[in-house]
Amino acid sequence: MLAIRLHATGGPEQLRADDVPVPAPAAGELRLRVAAAGVNFIDTYHRSGLYPVALPFGLGGEAAGQVTAVGAGVTDFCVGDRVVTTRAAGAYAEETLAPAAQTLKIPPGVSPATAAALLAQGLTAHALVTDCGPLRPGDTALVHAGAGGVGRLLIQLARMRGARVLATVGSDAKVALAREAGAEEVCVYTRDDFTAAARRFTAGRGVDVAYDGVGRATFAGTLDSLRPRGVFVSYGNASGPVPPFAPLLLAQKGSLFFTRPTLNDYLRTPAELQARAGDLWGWLAAGTLQVRIGATFPLRAAAEAHRALESRATTGKLLLLPAG
């Protein structure tokens, strides 16, 4: 079968199309034929070496498709079930393995592409607004990259919780997308001073919570956008990792709280996964949560998909379609 693997770290040119054996599921695992694989920034961190992995490495953790085999002890899934997971062992492939305990059945009426577009980013947004930087009615939130996959979901979930949202985007072309998601104000951070915008948005006080997946380019401004005892949720490194800083800086900026979450720590048990995903499926069915697929690529064009994602000119979710 075809699988996109990494034999050396570096740029997108390091992604290689390999012919590998179809894997056999071990106990507790299932195998699925991949209909859609999510392209996420963590994949680029693995590729670049920012997050070290053992090589050769099968890229991608997010896959949706149909079960083709089940391992010993798996009782909740059958061959033919439509499933989605964020824990695939190489989602950039025609078939992949995943732990049954971290896999979900796709609800009726939801396509594999929609499931793959929603799960990782939706679970991330859910954990961020409910646990990492929990929002209450009347709170104010700063959401960076508000036209991106996670950003648009964050805006929608923040509004569901009764918060007001100031979003930043990278260009004028993206302003409408952030507003459609529910942002009350939108700032083009590549041109405008988003810290000043945050102060105006809150009558000088500063926002209660800031969700920053951009990293290095926005770090200093995000600190200055928060109110005293505000919460800085740093969940990504799209522009590069946040520079090292002394804890004293948080005291100097108003006794701020800083957290750097990873999704797996907010999906510690199957019950937690089921609960978060259940909310997402329910909101999707009710039409209160909108998922945007920004672009799709055939499997062999994985390098092109990485270049598109890292250009930060994309909107919504990027998917690889192995049958495309």
CA distances from 88 to 37, 106, 241, 263 (A): 10, 15, 25, 14
- The pLDDT of residue 190 is 87
Per-run averaged pLDDT (10 residues), the chain, 324 residues = 97 97 98 97 94 96 98 97 97 98 97 97 97 97 95 98 97 95 96 97 98 96 98 93 96 98 94 97 96 96 96 86 84
Query: How many CB atoms are located within 10 Å of the residue 34 CB?
Result: 28
- The pLDDT of residue 215 is 93
- The pLDDT of residue 324 is 65
Alpha helices in 105-216 (DSSP H): 112-127, 149-160, 175-181, 194-201
- The pLDDT of residue 65 is 98
- The pLDDT of residue 279 is 98
- The pLDDT of residue 282 is 97
CA–CA separation, 34 and 269 (whole Å): 24
- The pLDDT of residue 314 is 80
Structural domains of the chain ordered from first start: 2-110+293-321 (3.90.180.10), 120-263 (3.40.50.720)
pTM over 0.85: yes
For the purposes of burial, counting CB atoms within 10 Å of the CB of 185, is it exposed (0-12), middle (13-18) or buried (19 or more)?
middle
